[in-house]
Structure 1
Amino acid sequence: MDNLVLLGVLLILTVVVGSFLGIFAFAEVKSLRGEVRRLRQAVELASGNAPAAGRTAATSPAQVSPGGAAAPEPRVAGGLPPRANVPEQAPPDEPAPPEPVAAAGSAARTEPSRAAVAVPAGDTFWERMQQNWMVWLGGACVALSGVFLARYGIEQGLLGPRVRVALGLITALALYVASEVLRRRTGGSHPTFAALAGGGAITAFAAILSAVHLYQLFEPGPAFAMLALVALVTMWLARLHGPVLAGIGMLGAYSVPILVSTGGGNVLGAMVYALIITTSVLLLLRHVYRNWLWFGLLAGALAWWLISMFGHQADSWRGPYLAALAYLLLAVVSGDWLLQRRAGDARDEAVAGASGVDPLLLPSLTLPVAAQCLSIFREGFVSSSLTSALWAWSPLPLVLFVAARRRAALAPLPWVLLLGQLAAWLAGRLDQWGEASVRLLPLPAEQQGGFLALLALTAVLFSACALINFRMGIARFWWASLAVMAPLLSLPVGYMLAGDALSRYWWCLYAAVFGAVFLYLGSRGAGRGWHKSMVVWLFIAGHFAYSLAACLWLEQASLTLAMALQLVSLAWIIRRFDMPALGWLLKGVLLLVVVRLTLNPWLLSYGDNSHWSLWTYGGAALCAWLATRILRHPQPALARWAEAAALHLLVLTLWAESRYWLYDGHAFAADFRFAEAVINMWLFAGLGLVYYRKSLLAGSFSRWYDGYGRLLMLAAAVNYLGILLATAASEPWVWRSVGARPLINMLLPAFAGPALLAWLVHRWYLPGVRRLAGLVSALAAFIWISLEVRHLWQGNIRLDSATATGELYTYSAVWLALAVAAILIGSWRGWRSCYRGGMAVLALVIVKLFLVDMAGLEGLLRVASFMGMGLALLGIAYLHQRLGHRHPSPGQ
C-alpha cells in the first residue's frame, strides 16, 4: 500500500512538474518565434522587397534630421535595420510612425510582448477561442488536477486533513507565483500565464471549501474571509493577465462547491459563497470589462438560486439572496454604493466598464425579478409565515425602488415585480378541474387572514415607495400609476384567494371607497394644478375601483367585465385630457380582454346559475364598441383597434350565446349538436363577409380583417363539411334533428342556407374564390333539393334505408327540371358556367335513367320511357337554338 501511495504521489508530481516545464517551453518558443518574425521582416525591408508602405515608413518624419536630410537608419546586431510596425494599407503620403528601436541580444527578447498577444478589437469570441483554445484547455486541466488531487486524497485516506489542505494551498500559491515569475521574465502577459493563475485560484477555492465542509477546520466566517481573499488576489492578477484569468477563475469559483461536495446539502452556505464570488467578479469588471464576464456571473449566481429550488433549506432566504444580487449588479461596477447615481452621470463614466454595463442593467435585473416570482410560486404561503414572507419578498422591491429614483430606465421594474408576484400567488392555487379546464382554489381558512395582511402590507410598500419616487420628478407616469394601482390590483387577488375571510358586502365597500377617494383626489388635483400624470391615473384608478365594486356585487359579472369597463374609462380619459400616450394601455387592456375571452373554454369555468355569457361576452363587446365611439374623432388609430376588438368580441358573444341556449346554460359543454353546427356555419360565414367588407375600408388594419375573415370562412366550411359527412354516414345526431315536418324543417337552414351563403360569397367576397363559391352554391342547392325529395318520401333523410321506385323517378324528374332550367337560363343570359352545370346534371339524369330507372322496365313501359326521354331532349335542343339567336351559345 505504501509503495502504491508513493508511486501515485510521484506520478502526480511528475505531471505537475511536466506541466510547468511545458508551459515554460511554450512561452520561450513563443518569444523566439516573435523574434524570428521580426528579423525576417527586417531582412525583407533591408533587401528592398518590403511593400511601398514599409519603404515609406523607413523614411518617416521621425527619421529626418533637423537639416531636412534623411537621418541614417539605426542598426542592430548584424547590421540590420529594426522592424517597422507599418499598417498594410497605409497610404504612401501618410507614413505610419516607426516602432521604437529594439536593443540587440537579450534586450530584444525582453521586449514587452503585450502588444504581440493583444487581440484586435474586431476579433470575435470564436476567433479568440480558435487562437487560445489550447491555452484555456491547459489551464482548465491544471486546475482540475488540483481539485481531483484533493478528491483522490479524500477517497484514499492519504495524509491528514490539515496536510491535505496545506498542500492544496501550497500548490495554489505555487501556481500564482509561477504565473507572476513568467510574466516578469518575458516582460508581458500571455494567456498561458493567465491559465496558470486561474488554476491556482480554483485549487485554492477547493482547498478552503474542503477544509470547511469536509474537515470542519475553519468556522464559516473565517473560511469565507479566506475565500474573499482568494477572490481579491485573483482579481488583482486578472488586472495584469487580462480577462482570460477572470473567466477561468469565475467558472471554477462557481463550480467548486459542486466538485468537492459531499452531499450534505448546505445550500445556504453555497449561496453566500456565490454572492462573494459575484462581488469579486464585479470588482474585476471595473478594470477588465467584457460582456461575457457579465453574463457569466449572472449565470453562476442564478444557477445557485435554481439549485436551491430543488429543496426547502433556502425557503425564506431566496428573496434576500436575489435582492443582494440585484444590489451588487447596480452598485459594484459603477461604484454607486448608495444607489444615487443618475443615468448618464459624467462623474461615473470614468469608471472602466460602467458605460458597457448600463445598457445591460434593465434586462439583467429582470432576471432576479422573474426569479423572485418563481420563488413565490414555489414556496406558496403558510399560515405562520407572515413575518418570514415579509422578510423574504420585501428586500428586492426596496432595492429596485431606491435604484430607480434617479434612473428612469429602471422605473418599469417595480411594476413588473408587482404584477409577477400577484400572478405567482394566483398560479400557485390553480388546480386541474375536469378534462379541459382549471379552477382557482382559495387558501385554507387558517391562512386567509395572514395572506390578506401580507397583500395589504405589500401594497402599502409599493404605493409608499412609488409616491416617494414620484416626488423626485423622474418617470412620474410610472410612479403615479404604481402608487394608485398597487392596492386596487391586490384587492381582486385577495378576493379570489381569501374571499371567505370577509363578506361580499365588505369587499364591494372597500372597492367603492377606493373609487370615491381616487375620484375625489383626481378632481381636486385637476383644480389645483397637480401633475398631469397623477390626475390621469387617479381617474383611471377611480373608474377601475367602481367597476370592480359592481362586478363583485353582481354575481353574474366577472373580473373580465371589470377590465372591459376600463376601455370606456380609458377612452374617456384619453379624449378628456388629450393623452394619446395612454394608447398603449388601452391596447394592452383590449388584448387582455380578447385573449381571456377567446381562451375562456380552456381557462376558468363559471357556475350554471347565472347568464354569465351575456354579461361577460356581450358586456365586453359593448364596452369595446363604446370606446370606439368615444375615440372615433380625436384618436382614429386607437378607434380602429377598439373596433377590431369589438367585432371579434361580437363573434364570441354570438357563439357563446348560441351554446348557452342550446345546452341549457352549459355554454362550454363538451358536446356538439346538429343545431350548433348549423348556427356556426351561418355565424362564421356571415361574419367572414363582414370582416372582408371591413378590410376594404380599414386602411392599416386591412390585412388583419382579411385574415380573420378567411379564418371565419374556413370555420364555416368545416362545419358544413362535417354536416355533409355525417349525413352521408346517416349519423343519428343529424337525421333525428331534422324532424318529420315536411318542407319547414332544419333542412332549410342546414342545406339551403349553404347555397345562399355560397352565393353571397360568390357575389361579394374575394375575387379569387368567387368562381369556386358559385360552384359550391350550385352543388349545395342540388343537395338540398335532393334531400327534400328524400324527406317527402320517407319522412327523414337517412341514406341507409331502401329507396322506392316512385322516389327514384321523382329524383329523375326533379333533376331533369333543374338541368333544363340551368341550360335554358345559361343560354338566355350567356352564363357559360350555368349552362355547363345544366349539361352535367342532364348527363347525370341520362345515366341514371339508363342504369337505374329503366333497368327493370319491359315492353310498352320501356318504349314510353325512351320516347319521353327523347322528346325531352329534342325540346331542350329546340329551345336552346331559339334562345341562341339573341345570345351566343355558351358552348361555343
Structure 2
Amino acid sequence: MDELTLLAILLVLTIPVCAVTALFLALGARRSAAALRLRLEALENELRRSRGAIEQPIAGESLPPAAAVTPPVVESLPPEQPRTTPTVPPIAAAPRKDSGLEDRLGSRWAVWVGGIALALGGIFLVRYSIEQNLLAPGVRVMIGLLFAAGLIGAGEWLRRRERDISLPGFPSANVPSVLTAAGTCTAFASIYAAYALYGLISPAAAFVLLGAVAVLTMAAAILHGPALAGLGLVGAMGSPLLVSSQEPQPWALVIYLPFVVLAAYGVARFRRWRWLALAAAGGALLWSPLIALADERTVLPLMVHLALQTAFAALFLVADPYRSTADGEARIDWPASLVLLLFSLGSVLTASAVEAGSARPIFAGIVALVLLATGFRFAAAAPAAAIAAFTVIGTLLVWPIARDVAGNPENIFYMSGDIFAVRPDALAAYLIFACVLVPLVSAASLLRLTLAGQLRLPIAAWYAGTAAVTPLLALVAAYWRIAGLERDLSFALAAGLLALAFVFAATRLRQRGDEAGETIRLGLGAVAAAALGALALGLTFVLDRGMLTVAFALTALATAWISERLTIPALRYAVGALGLIVLGRLIWSPTIVEGNPGPILVNWLLWGYGIPAVSFFLASRWLERSGRDRIVQLTESLSFVFATFLIFFEIRHALHAGDPLAVDFGLVEAGLIATETLAFGVLLTRLDLRKPDLVYRWGSLILKGLSLAICIGGLLIGQNPLFTGQPLQGSVVFNALIPAYLLPSLIAILLALAERGNKPPFYSWTSAILALALQLAYVCLQIRRVFQGPELGFWRGVTQGEQWSYSLALLVIGIALLGIGLLRDIRFARLASAVYLVLAVLKVFIVDLANLEGVMRALSFIGLGLVLIGIGLVYQRLLTQRPGRPAASG
C-alpha cells in the first residue's frame, strides 16, 4: 500500500471525528450564548421590579412613613463605605415547555441514533477494511482501538462539563452516555477481532483485554446511567455477529461471553438495575444455539457455556440479592426461576446430543448441583430445587440409545422403530448418574424443609413436592428406558426400597410434627403419599395389567383410610392422583386384559371396573368425614364413572361374543345402554335432591344428554328396524323390542317423576316426552311384528288389520293416559292423552278413510266415536262435580 492511499484512509477516518467534534463545539457555543442571554434578561427583570417598588403608590392609598420606605434590594450602607450596585441574585429560568416532536427529534433521538451510528460505523469500517484488504490486521485493530478511545474520552469530557454547557429548559439527551457506549462497543469488537480473526494476541491476552474493557464499561455505566448499560450490553452481545470469520470458533465465544455478562451483572448489582441482569442472562441464553451450530463435531463448548452461565445466573440473580433475606420474609422470584428453568432446558437438550459422550453425566450433574444448591440455600429460589430435579429426570429421559450392531449411540429424538426399545447407551454411567443425583436432590429438598424455621406454605410446597415426586418420576423414566415398560422384578424391588425409605422419613417427620408446624406436616403428607406412590409403582412393575388396576384402586382406598386415621390432609390429594392414574390406565386399555376378558358377567371387567368403583366410593365416604372438598367430589365422580363403564362394557361383552371393543352397534345394545344412562341419571338426580352437589347435578345432566342422544339417534333413527330392515330377534311377544324400547321408556318415566317439582319444568317435560315417544315406538313396532313377522321394514307395506290396530293402540294409550292424569291429577298425562287422541282422529279420518275397507273402516270410525263420546261424558261429569259450579237440573 502506498503512502497516498494510507493518507487518504486516515483522512476518511478523521471525518467522523471532526464532525462529532464540530457538533460538540457548536452545541457548546449555542448553550453559552443562551446562558448569557438568560442572565441578561434576569438582570433586566430584577432592575425593573426594583424601580417599581420605589415609585408613588396608587392614588387613594396613604403613603407609608418615609422611614418605612426601603428599597427591597439595595441595602443601607454605612457612611464611610461607597454605594455599590444592587446585588441581583441568580434566578432559575422557567422550565421550557416541550414543543413536541421537534424537540424530541432534535435534542434526544438524534443523539441516540447518532451514537448507534458511530458504533456501527466503527465496526463496519473495520469490516470494510477487511473485505477490501486495505490495511494490515494490526493496523485495523489499532485504528479501532484509537477510535474507541476517542469516543470514550469525548464522552467522559462531556460528562464532566454537561452542567456548564447544558441548555436550560431542554431535557438531557445523554450524549456522554451514548458516546461512551459506542466506544465500548468498538473496543469489544476490536479486541475480539484481534484474538479470534487474526491471532494477534494469545488467549491470556484476550482474557486481560476483554476483562479490562468490561471493567471500563462497568465503571462508565455507573457514571453515565442506564443508557450506556443497555447500549453497551447490546453492542457487546452483538459484536461477534458483526465481526465474523470463515472458521467459526465456539471456544472464542465461550471465553468472550463471560466477560460481557459479568460486566453487566456487576453494573446491575452496583446500580440495582435488575432489568440489566435479566437481560444479560437472556443474551447468554440466546447465544447457546449459535455456539452449538458453530461446531457440530462436539458440544463441549456449549456444555461449558451453559454450566458457567447457569452458575452466573444463580449467583447474581438469586444468591447476591437474597443473601440476607430470612426464610419467613422470602417470596418466590419468578423471573429468576424462569431464567434458571431455561438454562436447565438447554442443558437437557444438550445432554441428548450423541457428541456429549462421557462428559454427559458430569455436565448434567454440575448443572443440577448448581441449581440444587441455589434452591437449598435461598428460599426465594425454592423452584430451583424442582428445576434441578427436572434436569436430572430430563437427562434420564433423553439419554442417547445404542441402535446399530457396532453399538454406536443414536439421539433419542431421531430414532426409528419401536419406542419401547430405548435401552440407554453406557448403561453403567446411566445407572450411576441416576443412583447418585436422584437421592441427593430428594434428600436435600426434604432436609431443607426440616431445617426451615418459618417457611411460607407456597415455598415449602416446592421443597415437599420435589422431595416426594423426584424419585418416583426418575424411577418411571428408568423403567421405560431400561425395561421397556415390561414386567421387571428388579424395578419392583427398587420401588419397594423406595417406599420403605419414604416410610422411614414419614416416621421421623411425624415425631416432629407437633413442634414444627405446618411445614413439617406438609412434608409428612408429601412423603407419606410418595410411599404409597412407590408401592403402587412396585405393583405396576411386577403385576400384569389386570391386577395393576385392582392394586391401584385398593392402594387409593388404603390411602384414604390412612389420611383420616393419621390426620394427614396431603394424602387426600394422593387419593385423587391415584384415581386419575386408574382412569388413565383404563382409558389406555379399556378391556383390562388383552383378548377376551372371560365369561359373561364374572370376568376381568368385573374386577377391573367393579373394584375401583367400590374402592373410590368408600374412599369418598371416608374422606368426606373431614369435609366435602374437590378431592371428595373427584373420587366420588370416579366411582360413578367406573360403575358406568363396568355396565357399558359388560353389555358389549355379552352381546358381541366376548369382544367389548367390537365396532358394530345393534338395537338391543342401544336400548340397554340407554336404559343404563337413564338409570344412572335417576340415581344422581335422587342424590342431588337429598344432598345438592355439583357432582350429582352435572353428572345427571351429562347422563341425560347421553341418553337423549342414544334414544333419538340410535333407537328412533339409526337402529330402528323400520329403517334398517334387520330381522327382529325373539318371539312374537318376548323379543328385542322390550329391552330396546319398553325398558328405557319405563326408566324415563321414573326420571320424569324424580325431576317433577324438583328441577326446572323443562327437565321433567323432556324426560316425559322421551318416555312417551319410546312407549309409542314400542307399541307400533310390536303391532308390526305381529302382522309382518321378524322383518319390519317400512317397504313391506301395511295390511288392513295392522292399520286398524294402530288406530286402536292410539285410542287405548290416550284413554290410559287420561285415566292416569285424572286419577293422579297429572296435567302432563292429560295433555299427552289429548295428543294421542288427536293423532287417532287424524289417522282415522285421513289414513283409515283412504286405506281401510268394509268392516274395518266401520269399526275404526265406530270405535273413535264411542271413545270421544265417552271422554266428553267423563269431562262433563267432572266439571259438574267441581266446587263452585251449580248442579245440573233434573
Q: Decide: shared fold, TM above 0.5.
A: yes
The structural deviation recorded for 1:235 is: 1.7
- Give the deviation of 1:268 after TM superposition: 5.2
How far off its partner does 1:245 sit? 1.5
Q: Is the 8 A contact 1:622 1:646 kept in 2?
A: no
- On the 8 A contact 1:678/1:720 being kept in 2, the answer is yes
**Which residue matches 1:227?**
210
Q: What's the offset of the Cα at 1:752?
A: 3.5
Task: Give yes or no for the alignment of 1:253 onto 2:233.
Answer: no
Provide closer, same or farther for how the CA distance between residues 279 and 180 of structure 1 changes in structure 2, counting only shifts above 3 A: same
Larger Rg: 2
Q: Counterpart of 2:158 in 1: which secondary structure?
A: helix
Partner in structure 1 of residue 341 of structure 2: 369
Is the CA contact 1:194–1:241 (under 8 Å) kept in the aligned structure 2? yes
- Cα deviation, residue 280, structure 1: 1.6
Tell me which residue corresponds to 1:711: 702
Does residue 395 (structure 1) correspond to residue 366 (structure 2)? The answer is yes
Please give the residue correspondences for 1:180-195 in structure 2 after superposition, counting only pairs within 5 Å: 180-187=156-163, 190-195=173-178
Distance 1:574 1:374, change over 3 A: farther
Q: Secondary structure at the match of 1:846?
A: helix
Matched, 1:286 2:269: yes
Whole-Å separation in 2 of the counterparts to 1:804 and 1:648: 52
Report whether the alignment pairs 1:207 with 2:190. Answer: yes
- CA change 1:797–1:147 in 2 (3 A) is farther
Deviations 1:601-644 (A, max 9, x none): 479997616967666655554554444344343x2245x62343
Instruction: Indicate the residue corresponding to 2:807 in structure 1.
Output: 812
Aligned partner of 1:453 in structure 2 is 432
Query: Which one of the candidate residues 528, 540, 543 is aligned to 1:551?
Result: 540
Q: CA deviation at 1:149?
A: 3.2
Select the residue among 585, 589, 597 that pairs with 2:583.
597
> Which residue is 2:80 aligned to?
none
Q: Secondary structure at the match of 1:82?
A: coil
CA-to-aligned-CA distance 1:223-242 (integer Å, 9 cap, x gap): 35433332222221111121
* Corresponding residue of 1:90: none
Partner of 1:179: 155
Mapped pair 1:163 → 2:146: no
How far apart are residue 524 of structure 1 and its match? 7.4
Query: What is the CA deviation profile of residues 162-189 of structure 1, one whole-angstrom value per residue up to 9, with x for unaligned ones?
Result: 3333333233222222222221221387
Give the match for residue 848 of structure 2.
Answer: 853
Tell me: CA distance 1:309–1:185, structure 2 relative to 1, closer, same or farther (3 Å): same
CA–CA distance in 2 between the matches of 1:145 and 1:748? 91
1:880 correspondence with 2:875 = yes
Name the CA shift for 1:764/1:731 in 2 (closer, same or farther; >3 Å): same
Q: CA deviation at 1:450?
A: 4.1
Shift of 1:863: 6.1
Shift of 1:421: 4.2
Q: CA deviation at 1:284?
A: 0.8
Q: Is the 8 A contact 1:512 1:549 kept in 2?
A: yes
Task: Measure the CA separation in 1 of the matches of 2:35 and 2:628.
Answer: 67
Give the alignment's Cα RMSD to 1 decimal.
5.2
Distance 1:473 1:368 in 2: 23
Alpha carbons of 1:514 and 1:605: their partners in 2 closer, same or farther (altered >3 Å)? same
2:493 is matched with: 509
Structure 2 CA distance for partners of 1:182 and 1:830, relative to 1, 3 Å: same
User: Alignment partner of 1:277: what SS?
Assistant: helix
Within-5 A mapping of 1:489-504: 489-499=473-483, 504=488
Amino acid at match of 1:199: A
Normalised to the residue count of structure 1, the TM-score between the two structures is 0.74
1:219 Cα offset (Å): 4.0
Structure 2: distance between partners of 1:213 and 1:73: 73
Cα distance in 1 between the residues matched to 2:710 and 2:605:
23
Deviation of residue 391 (structure 1)? 1.0
**For the residues of structure 2 that align with 1:518 and 1:245, how far apart are their CA atoms?**
54
Equivalent residues of 2:591, 2:605 under 8 A apart:
no
**In structure 2, what is the Cα distance between the partners aligned to 1:40 and 1:763?**
97
Alpha-carbon shift at residue 449 of structure 1 (Å): 4.5
Distance 1:190 1:650, change over 3 A: same
Q: CA deviation at 1:364?
A: 1.8
Residue 24 of structure 1 deviates from its aligned partner by 6.6
- 2:649 paired with 1:659: yes
Match of 2:764 in 1: 770
Q: Counterparts of 2:667 and 2:243 in 1: how far apart (Å)?
A: 68
Written as runs of structure 1 = structure 2, the 5 A alignment for 1:263-662 is 264=247, 266-267=249-250, 269-307=252-290, 312=296, 315=299, 321-332=305-316, 336=320, 341-344=323-326, 361-373=333-345, 375-376=347-348, 379-380=351-352, 387-419=358-390, 421-422=392-393, 425-426=396-397, 441-444=420-423, 447-463=426-442, 465-466=444-445, 469=448, 472-473=451-452, 486-499=470-483, 504-516=488-500, 519=503, 539-556=528-545, 567-568=556-557, 570-580=559-569, 582=570, 586-587=572-573, 590-591=576-577, 593-594=579-580, 597=583, 601=587, 608=594, 618=610, 620-633=612-625, 635-637=626-628, 641-652=631-642, 654-655=644-645, 658-659=648-649, 662=653
Equivalents in 2 of 1:796, 1:274: separation in Å?
84
Q: Deviations over 1:772-822 (max 9, x none)?
A: 333333333333333333444342454455444443333232223323433
Q: Give the deviation of 1:651 after TM superposition.
A: 0.6
| Secondary structure of the corresponding residue to residue 159 of structure 1 | coil
Measured after TM superposition, the shift of residue 414 of structure 1 is 1.8
Alpha-carbon contact 1:613-1:656 (below 8 Å) kept: yes
Contact residue 488 and residue 545 of structure 1 kept, 8 A: yes
CA drift of 1:252 comes to 2.5
Equivalent position of 2:67 in the other structure: none
Does structure 2 retain, via aligned residues, the 8 Å contact 1:374–1:424? no
1:165-222 Cα deviation digits (max 9, x unpaired) = 3333233222222222221221387433322222223333333333344334344443
Shift of 1:301: 2.1
Q: Which residue of 2 aligns with 1:55?
A: none
**1:774-789 mapped onto 2 (5 Å cutoff):** 774-789=768-783
Unpaired runs of 5+ residues, structure 2, are: 50-69, 76-83, 99-103, 167-171, 402-416, 598-603, 885-890
Question: What residue is the counterpart of 1:836 in the other structure?
Answer: 831
In structure 2, what residue type is equivalent to 1:331? L
Classify 1:859/1:4 alpha carbon distance in 2 versus 1 (closer, same or farther; 3 Å). Answer: farther
Letter in 1 for 2:209: M
Counterpart code for 2:348 = I
* Structure 1 residue 697, shift from structure 2 partner: 6.7
Structure 1 Cα separation of the partners of residues 559 and 33 of structure 2? 75
**Do the aligned partners of residues 751 and 129 (structure 1) sit closer, same or farther apart at CA in structure 2, a change above 3 Å counting?**
farther
Query: 1:283: how far off?
Result: 0.8
| CA distance 1:606–1:564, shift in 2 (3 Å) | closer
Q: Tell me the CA shift for residue 399 of structure 1.
A: 1.7
Cα distance in 2 for partners of 1:281, 1:503 equals 54
Secondary structure (helix, strand or coil) at the match of 2:271 reads coil
2:844, 2:861 within 8 Å by CA — same for their partners in 1?
A: no
Cα distance per residue 1:39-93 (max 9 Å; x no partner)? 9999999999xxxxxxxxxxxxxxxxxxxx999599999957623899xxxxxxx
**Structure 1 residues 644 and 341 mapped into 2: Cα distance closer, same or farther (>3 Å)?**
same
Residues 1:428 and 1:695: Cα distance change in structure 2 (over 3 Å)? farther
Q: d(CA) in 1 for partners of 2:606 and 2:387?
A: 33
CA distance in 2, matches of 1:403, 1:753: 67
- Identify the residue that residue 404 of structure 2 maps to in structure 1: none
Q: Pick closer, same or farther for the CA change 1:191–1:651 going to 2, 3 Å.
A: same
1:473-526 superposed Cα distances (whole Å, 9 cap, x missing partner): 556887677567654543333222212799833333333344446546755786
Taking the aligned partners of 1:599 and 1:513, their CA distance within structure 2 comes to 24
Assess if the C-alpha contact under 8 Å between 2:472 and 2:534 holds in 1: yes
Change (3 A) 1:148 1:470: same
8 Å contact from structure 1 (residues 818, 838) kept in 2: yes
